[in-house]
Each structure stands twice: as C-alpha cells, then as structure tokens.
Chains A and B, each alone.
Chain A
C-alpha cells in the first residue's frame, strides 16, 4: 500500500520556486530518503507533507484516502525537525509529557510510553534535567524519542543527524533502524550524507533545485550509472558535488541570547 502518494507538488515563495512539480510514492514500512544539497527543496517538501505549509499546486494523499482531514493526517505521523524544537526551559520528561498530551496519548499509557521511548534513546536517567543542559546529540535523541510516543505510522526525519558527531549519528541510525524493523514504521527522511542514504534507505530520490532528478534503490543506481558510490551517481546527475549544509543556523544566535 502507498502510505504517501505525492502528485505534481509545487511550492513557490515570492516568485522563487522551491519545489517544482515533484511526484513520488512511499510504501508502508519503507525507508524512503530524499538526498540533495542545501536549498534543494527537501525541507520545503517535508513541511508540505507534514501540513505545516500548503503547496501552491499538486496533491498529497495519505493512506490512499484523499478525504483525510489535516488533523487525521497529523495523528498518523511523527516528525523530527531539522532545527531545534524542544523547550529548553522544561525537563526532558516535561517535553515528552507536553507532546503526549497534545498528541492525545491516553493518560494511563503516557508514563509507560515515555519511559519506553526515553530508555530507547538512553536518556531515562536524565529525564529530570532541563533540556538546556543537554548536548546537541542528546537533544536530537530526545526529539526522536518524543516523536515516537504517539506511535506514529510514519516518521518524518529532516536531516536527523545534521551537525552531530559520527558516534551519535551511528546510534541514532540504529534506533531508527529498530523502529522500522520491529514496529514496521514507515520512515521518510532527508539527508545530505551520502553514506546514510546508501546504508539506511530502501529507496532514494535525488533532488536538486526543487526537482526530483532520479529515484530508485541503491542497487538500481549502481547499475544505471555504472558506479559503486552514490557520490559518483550524484555527480553524474547534477554535474556537481553535494554542497555541505551549515549546522543549525539558529544555534549560535540562541547561544548568544543565553537560551
């Protein structure tokens, strides 16, 4: 079953076309990756899929049911945003609880699920610490834990490992892998790390300048472009190497403001 189906999606900002007529579908239980450089339209696509912004044209259909309301769609997914979205002045547990309430996790279930998720990301013993005391990697893990407690069918991950050290990145991918394997959760992720897309994703869409340039499994890419690395594929398709993304653009400002 196609849990997400996207047809001809376009988004413009003041005359600039961020996403131009993209179409793809994601099957249930799949890990689907959007690979592309900074400004390619990955985050804009995720924002449209997660109902945060509306497209100028095109269709997004969840669960093969075009009649779902915004709130019904929101019930289905969890999301980890590219930049920070925790409340630093609350504790890890309070952030989880807030999420549990606004996602309507039943009260008698909440405690159990929060504990389960915090243990999964190895933050249970830090549950009563204020988030502002956490490192970047811990915050990211907390955000992942948070996105899980309402048992979403789809998990959106927008550059989940951006700016993290290799060790933390590995750990985060292990956790994502578990969720996909054990719970059959569909994962839609964006990344600009080639090796993450290579290793993790069942299918990869290469996106640049708002358009999907090609789509397929890593094996298919290797065969089609006669190469062993995704980097080479990317080079052949776009004519350039992938551009590095800056880690969290708001981070320094936030530091300066002392939050």
Chain B
C-alpha cells in the first residue's frame, strides 16, 4: 500500500518540477498581489496606525498560493480522466482510496512547496519573521491548508467530466475563498454578512493560524482551534472525496 501511495506521490512531484512553466507560473499571481497590495495599500495601512501591511498580508499571500496550487490538482484529475492516464490507474488491482491518498499527498506536497517558494519571495521583498523557531508550526499550517484544498479540488473534479465546468466552479469558489478569508483585511471589527462569510470560510482559520505563527501576533480564533478545525474538515472531505472518487466511471 505504501509503495502505491509513494509512486503516485512521486509522479505528482516529478510532473511539477519538470514543468518549469507551472513552477514559475503559479508564483506570478501571488507575487502580483503581494506587490500591488503590499506596497500599494501599505502606506494607507500604516497611516491608519495598523502596522506594516506587507507583514500583515504576506501570510495571506502564501495561503493564496497554496490554495491555487491545491485546487489545481482537481484540474489535473479531470485532465487525467479525459486523456487516458486515469484509465490506466483505475483498471489496476488497487483500491481507489489508495489512489486518492497518493494523489492527495502528492498534490498537497507540491502545493506546500509552492507555499515555501512564495514565503521566500515575501522575505526577499521585505517580509520579516521575528522568530525562526516557529517555521515547523507554520509548515504544519501550510500543509493542512494544502491537504484540505487538494481534497476539495479532487472531490469536485470527481463529479465533473470536462475542464470548462471545472474552471467555472473555480471562479465561483477560489476567488471568493481568497477574498473572504482575512487574507487582505483584518478580521477585527467586521460585522454583518461579511463577518458571517468570513467565519464559514475554512481558509480564514488557516490564514489566522499562519499569521499568528509567522508574525507572532495573537490568534483571533485560537491556534489550537484553527489546527483542529482544519484537521477535522480535512477528515470530513476525505470521507466525501473517497465516496465520490470510488464512483468515478471512465467512459
């Protein structure tokens, strides 16, 4: 079983690092947000007495990169379904859940690596981490976000036949998830519908945790709550994903 998970994991890693365009391309958008928002809105944020906006936004941008790369795994699954490679895997004498686990771990590893690359980028443009000993905890948060959204991507992709449909869903899911997460604005003093939307968004908890860890600021929801929530949601979506993944038929 472990060898099967490993070979699926390895495939994702190899594919990712062989495609230079994917490797670099997925850094572009976060970098743009980082520069446009970080430096564009930074002075205003500072004037309002809210501190350094670049430091504030960096954890959110890292999470954004992880979110995009993770969800993209769904796109890859549809691609594999449409263009044959999944047939080869599905017809093998292997339980589907092992395939799902391998794909998820591979996809999440890739997304975490992208997150680390973005973290390095943020450091280059001026983000500072006050205490380096928190890096392992930050990595745990990054990996949990990656696992959860990789599973979300794969679960949605299990239901879909074509790439266009997936793209549409992405637009209605990924962008709102990012914008309504506290990635770019503080969550204190929110009210009404926005507060509700933010609090039902799993990414809010991931970003809260990452920000709290990375820039050493008190967490809003509580660090352990963030961790437990992300972990539990991942287990739930793993259940749903396994069920739907089992039902994929290749025509």
Contacts and interface: CB of A to CB of B under 8 A. Distances in A.
A30 interface: no
Interface string A232-259: 0000000000000000001000100001
A47 B19 CA distance: 32
Interface in A41-85: 47, 50-54, 71-72, 74-75, 79, 81, 83-85
A99 B88 contact: yes
Interface residues of B, number: 25
A87 interface: yes
A89 B85 CA distance: 11
A86 B85 CA distance: 6
A178 interface: no
Given A52-B250, A89-B18, A74 B85 contact: no
- Classify the secondary structure of B's interface with A: helix
Interface in B1-50: 3-4, 6-7, 11, 14-15, 18-19
A94 interface: yes
Given A53-B251, A89-B19, A98 B7 contact: yes
A97 interface: yes
B91 A74 contact: yes
B90 A101 contact: no
Given A81-B88, A90-B11, A102 B83 contact: no
A84 B95 contact: no
Nearest to A79: B91
A119 interface: no
B249 interface: yes
B91 A53 contact: no
A98 B8 CA distance: 8
Interface in A80-122: 81, 83-87, 89-90, 94, 97-99, 101-104, 107
Contact of B3 (A53, A72, A101): A101
Contacts of B15: 87, 89-90
Contacts of A99: 88, 92
A86 B84 CA distance: 7
Contacts, number: 75
A53 B249 contact: yes
Contact of B94 (A53, A79, A89, A102): A102
Nearest to B85: A87
B4 A50 contact: no
B82 interface: yes
Interface string B88-104: 11111111000000000
A104 B83 CA distance: 24
Contact of A102 (B87, B92, B249, B250): B92
A206 to B, nearest CB: 24
B4 A85 contact: no
Contact of A89 (B3, B14, B93): B14
B93 A103 contact: yes
B14 A94 contact: yes
Interface centre among B18, B82, B93 (most CB of A within 10 A): B93
A52 B84 CA distance: 12
B48 to A, nearest CB: 47
A87 B13 CA distance: 13
28 contacts: A50-B91, A52-B90, A52-B91, A52-B249, A52-B250, A53-B250, A53-B251, A71-B93, A71-B95, A74-B91, A79-B91, A81-B84, A84-B84, A85-B87, A86-B85, A87-B11, A89-B15, A89-B18, A90-B14, A94-B14, A98-B11, A99-B92, A101-B3, A102-B7, A102-B89, A102-B94, A130-B18, A259-B83
Given A71-B94, A84-B84, 17 more contacts: A47-B250, A47-B251, A50-B91, A53-B250, A53-B251, A71-B95, A75-B93, A85-B85, A85-B88, A89-B19, A90-B14, A99-B88, A99-B92, A101-B6, A102-B4, A102-B92, A130-B18
Interface of A: 13, 47, 50-54, 71-72, 74-75, 79, 81, 83-87, 89-90, 94, 97-99, 101-104, 107, 130, 146, 250, 254, 259
A-B pairs, 7 with minimum CB distance: A85-B84, A74-B93, A102-B92, A101-B7, A71-B93, A85-B88, A75-B93
